[in-house]
Structures are given as C-alpha cells and as structure tokens.
Structure 1
Amino acid sequence: MASTALHLAPSRLTATHVKRLAWLTLAWNILVVLWGAIVRATGSGAGCGNHWPLCNGEVIPHTPRIDTIIEFTHRMMSGGAVFLTLALLLAIFATSERLQPARKAIVAATVLLFNEAILGALLVKLGYVTGNRSVGRVVLLSIHLSNTLLLLGAYTLTVYFLERPWRFTISRRNLWLSAIGLVSTLIVGVSGSLAALGDTLFPASSLRAAFVQDFASNSPMLLRLRSVHPLSAFLATVFVTWLLKRSWGSPLANFVLGLLAFQIALGFADLLLLAPTWMQVLHLLGADLYWVALLWLSAQQTFPITKELHA
C-alpha cells in the first residue's frame, strides 16, 4: 500500500501546485534574508556561541537570551528553507520533462543554498559576528552576501521558467549585457550590506561625522568600502536604463522603475536617519524585491520564446 501511494504521489502534483511551491520558496528565502539582517543589526550573531549547528551546545536552547532567540530563529528559518528547496527540487523533477530549464535553475538554487549554510557556519565558527571588525570578516561576508543574491536569483529563474513553460533560445548579446548589468547590481547589493555593517559597527553621531569617517586616513577598510556603493549604483543604473528602454511601457518595466525610485528614496532616508535597524530591514526588502524584478525583466530579454514545450 505504501509503495502504491509513493507511486501515485507524483501524478497528483499539478503545474499549479509546483508553481505555488516555487513562489512560497522564493518568498520564504526573502524572509530568511531579512531576518539575517536583523541578526546583524542587533548584534545577535553570537547568540548561539561559536556552536554550529547546535546552539550553545544544545539542540533547542534552554532559558535563552534575546540574542539567542534571534539567532536561533534565523537558523530554524534557514532549516525551513532547506526543506522547501528539496521539496521543490523533487516536485520539479517529478512533473517536468528533461528539457525544462527550471530543472537547472532549481539545481543551482540547491547548490547555492548549501553554500549559504557552509558560509554561515564559517562566520559563526571563525567568530566573524557581532563586533568583529577584521578584514577576514569583510571578505567572507562579501562572499556570503554575493551567494545570497545569487541564491535569490536562482529561485527567481526557477519561478520564471515554471510560469513560462515554453522552449527558449538565448540572445547572446543580451546575455552579456544582462550579465554585466546584473553583476553591477549585485555589487550594489553587497556594498550596500557592507555599508550597513559599517553603520552598525561604527555608528556616527551625525551625517557630517559619517562623511568624515569615510574619508579619514585612519578609517578601517569597512568604512572606506562605503564609497563603492554609490559608484556601483551608477553603473547599475546605466544598465537598468538600457533594460527599461527595451521594455518600456510594460507593466513589469514600470514596476522595476518604481522599485528603483523607491530604493533611491530609502537610501537617502537611511543616510539622513543614520541607519536605524528598521530602516535597514526596509531598505533590504526593497533591494531584494528590486533584484527579483530586475532579474525577471532581464530573463525576458535574454530568453526569447520559440515554441511551447509539450509534456
């Protein structure tokens, strides 16, 4: 009886079920990223000590402090992301044909998710949390943040290909232009997160004091890197201008443009308010939504439709 149920289970999955699971997995991982920002902004990265995957040597911490609750919640949410991703991987392979590009996208997401876990564990085990200001933390955190954006990108492409079950060609010219623009946008995201870390570790009493920190000769590398953020943002804006020009008038292009304007406004507000935690989280949410929408719009330009796939 059990074997019969196992055999019939894939046939009960419909394309609609798989799409819903894919959207849920993407949304859940965005929440994990946002909670990770709360962990960083509140200095809760050492809430479980240097233990991983255990928390202070326990499976479930007893009488936890606030920082332990925040860090442990993040770990539990990350565990949920693993289960959702594996479920989506199995569902896509059970219901799609061999040429469906969503298969490659979800495999990439699965690999990147395990990379994410390894990088997160290294940050904890090496003590690159809370008040650590070392160059090693900046380097490892940059890799971690890049992997996070690539992970969200892989989930986005998984949903994109599931929502558009057609056969595609690849526009190589647009592929290269999109790759350059998306890398620039990724640098904006990473540099922005590093800037937020700098705001947390080196809080300024005023906007003027923050600028003095950035350009002082004895400033740590983390503060000097803050200038990379506006420069990379300029390059990414050039790419977005090209992309929006090609897609002008479409609802998605208008949505991307609106998110871009919203992000710029949040960036100025973040600067003027001296980066409180709630503003950092809101700014990051806008950045994640913008990244997902931008990647979707880029995919439309890079993968022109040729014909419908047949089951």
Structure 2
Amino acid sequence: MTGFQKLCIVTCVIIFGLIILGGVVRATDSGLGCPDWPRCHGSFIPKWEKHTLIEYSHRLTASIAGLLVLSVVVVAGRSYRRVPAILYPSIAALALLLVQAGLGGAAVLNDLPPEVVAVHLGTAITILTLLLIITTAAFAVTKPMERLHASRQFGRLSLLALALTLPLMLIGSYVSGADYGLACNGWPLCNGEVFPSADAASVQIHFMHRLLAAVLGAVLLALAWVGWRHRRSVPFVTAFSLLALGVYVIQAMLGAANVWTELSGEVSGAHLAFATLLWCVLAVLNIRVHRLHQLLPLAPRPSRRSDLAGASS
C-alpha cells in the first residue's frame, strides 16, 4: 500500500468520524456550545463544559480533516497532476471543504437553522464520496481493478438505492434540527395511525422521512435479491448488497429506538452513524459497479513536451 493510499483511507475515516461527531453535537444540543465562530466564547481555548467541549471537539476534528484534505490535494498535485481521476476530485473536495466551513459558521451565527444544518450534512457527504472515489482511483492506478460484470438491473437498483439514501439523510437531518423527532409519537404507527391525519408540518415531514425509509428498504431488499443471484459470478456485488441490507435493518431499528427512547443522545448518534455507513457501502458499490473512479482518465496524460516530440518524429 502506497503512502498516498494510506493518506486517502485515513482522510475518509476522519471525514466519516466528523459526520458522526456532527450528529452527536445535534443529538446533545451542543450546537451552540460555542456561540461564536471561529472562536469559542471569544477564545481559541474552550471552557471545560460538556456542550462546549463537544462542539469544540467537532471543530477540532474539522480542522484535522481540512489539513488531511489539503494534504491529499498537495500530493495529488505533485505526484498525480497528470491523472485527472485523482487530481480533479481532490480539488473539488478542497473547494467543498471551504464551503463546508462557511456553512458551519453560518449555522452557529444564525442559531442553527435546520435548512443550513441539512445542507451542511449534504456537503460533508459529498466530500466523503469524492474521497472514496479518489481512494478507489489511487488503488486502481497501481493495480487495475477487475471489471464487475453485474446485470443492468443490479446497476439500476444500486443507483436508485444511493439516490434515495441522500434525501433520506437530509430529511432526517432537518427533522433533528427542527426538533421534529417526536412529531410521530410511536413506531411503526405515527400517533396511532398508519397515515397521519394531522396537517402540522412537523408530522408531515417526520412521516415523509419514515415513508422514504420504507421505500429505500424495499429497494435494498430487491438489490440484495438480485445481488444474491450474482454470488458465483460476482461475489463482491453479493457481499456489498447483503451488507447494505444488513446495515439498513440496524439503521431502521435505531430509528424506531429514537422514538422509543425519546431521542436518546446515544441512539441518535448511532442512527446517524449507521446512515453514514449505509451511504459509504452504497457509494463504494456504485463506484465499482459503474466504474465512477474512471469517469475521468486514470492513465497519466502525456506532457506537452512529449506531444511535440511525437509530432516532430
């Protein structure tokens, strides 16, 4: 394993942890533990208080993540500047990280509006996805990856599952940020009804989250069934489709436990952790099946000097 590959893996892990820590901040109502930005209570050294330390640890982890992403860009610029599949996504990840920092500041300075919090999460997920693509490309550059000959049906289902997971996570973030987590009191029923009759926005948005989760569950079940039929020809596809279904089941149970425990901080944090893990599993699956790491060339581009030399000969 090369140093760059290790750097990419560590960066992915830190970004994953940063997303989870952001969920812990929301679950423990620590978002305003540092009411100003970029300082915390007017200082760069935080007070020794629970909510302040939780929020400050999130900011500190974000700083580490920023340095790691910057390192990825620097190495990509030095060693992979002629490999577009690595260089361009790394630049995009750094640009989004700057946007992410601005969104984090805006969230704090405007008392955590749920819309900004949801966009903040969406940007973090996009950065993580870009890093997963970069990591896959970094391995593919040193050793070409076997093409996965999955059926067209499997490819469509895997894309659909990924496409459903993103809005599910964003709506879930909005539900948490707007304090709609208990708008449906009970599970699986919503306030004692299969389809809630209440017109309140809190109930309708919460129910939309549950309904989308049910649709995703059906898609993942179909994906696992089709993936199982590939168990001899493409075992990677089978393993990841079953893994996605397993993570989803745990995630659904944690969603129910969120209501049963009246939004316990530990359960809420685990709920986001498994949602992010599900996204990662589906992202890696789609990257391999649809060869997303090869949307841009993996092979080094010839230099202008070599082009001129070839033309003159």
Report the TM range for the smaller structure's normalisation. Answer: 0.7 to 0.9
Does structure 2 conserve the Cα–Cα contact (< 8 Å) formed by 1:263 and 1:283?
A: no
Listed as ranges, the matches of 1:237-276 within 5 Å are 237=217, 240=220, 245=226, 248-249=230-231, 250-251=235-236, 253-272=238-257, 273-274=260-261, 275-276=263-264
Specify which of 196, 217, 224 is matched with residue 198 of structure 2: 217
Q: Do residues 77 (structure 1) and 61 (structure 2) align?
A: yes
- Find the counterpart in structure 1 of residue 136 from structure 2: 160
Partner SS for 2:190 = helix
Identity %: 22
Aligned length: 283
Does structure 1 conserve the Cα–Cα contact (< 8 Å) formed by 2:184 and 2:206?
A: no
> Per the alignment, do residues 227 and 241 of structure 1 end up closer, same or farther by CA in structure 2, a change over 3 Å counting?
same
Post-superposition CA distance 1:236-286 (Å, at most 9, x none): 456546765368322354234224223223322431433422122222222
- Find the counterpart in structure 1 of residue 29 from structure 2: 43
TM-score by length of 1: 0.77
* Aligned mates of 1:149, 1:231 — CA distance in 2: 22
> Per the alignment, do residues 204 and 226 of structure 1 end up closer, same or farther by CA in structure 2, a change over 3 Å counting?
closer
Alpha-carbon distance, 1:144 to partner = 1.9
> Per the alignment, do residues 99 and 178 of structure 1 end up closer, same or farther by CA in structure 2, a change over 3 Å counting?
farther
> Per the alignment, do residues 235 and 111 of structure 1 end up closer, same or farther by CA in structure 2, a change over 3 Å counting?
farther
- Find the counterpart in structure 2 of residue 8 from structure 1: none
Q: Which moved more, 1:27-36 or 1:246-255?
A: 246-255
Q: Do residues 191 (structure 1) and 175 (structure 2) align?
A: no
Listed as ranges, the matches of 1:1-311 within 5 Å are 16-49=2-35, 51-61=36-46, 63-128=47-112, 137-165=113-141, 166=144, 180-197=160-177, 203=182, 207=186, 211-212=190-191, 215=196, 217=198, 219=200, 221-237=201-217, 240=220, 245=226, 248-249=230-231, 250-251=235-236, 253-272=238-257, 273-274=260-261, 275-303=263-291, 309=299
Does structure 1 conserve the Cα–Cα contact (< 8 Å) formed by 2:20 and 2:272?
A: yes
Unaligned runs of 5+ in 1: 1-14, 129-136
| Runs of 4+ with deviation above 4 angstroms | 166-169, 173-181, 200-206, 237-244, 304-308
Does structure 1 conserve the Cα–Cα contact (< 8 Å) formed by 2:223 and 2:241?
A: no
* Aligned mates of 1:120, 1:99 — CA distance in 2: 32
Post-superposition CA distance 1:87-120 (Å, at most 9, x none): 1111122122513402222122112211211111
Does structure 2 conserve the Cα–Cα contact (< 8 Å) formed by 1:45 and 1:71?
A: yes
> Per the alignment, do residues 226 and 17 of structure 1 end up closer, same or farther by CA in structure 2, a change over 3 Å counting?
same
* Aligned mates of 2:184, 2:220 — CA distance in 1: 34
* Aligned mates of 1:261, 1:176 — CA distance in 2: 20
Q: State the AA in 2 paired with 1:254.
A: A
Post-superposition CA distance 1:66-107 (Å, at most 9, x none): 111111111111111110100111112212251340222212
TM-score by length of 2: 0.77
- Find the counterpart in structure 2 of residue 3 from structure 1: none
Q: State the AA in 1 paired with 2:67.
A: F
> Per the alignment, do residues 144 and 223 of structure 1 end up closer, same or farther by CA in structure 2, a change over 3 Å counting?
farther
Does structure 2 conserve the Cα–Cα contact (< 8 Å) formed by 1:145 and 1:190?
A: yes
> Per the alignment, do residues 154 and 208 of structure 1 end up closer, same or farther by CA in structure 2, a change over 3 Å counting?
closer
Q: State the AA in 1 paired with 2:251.
A: L
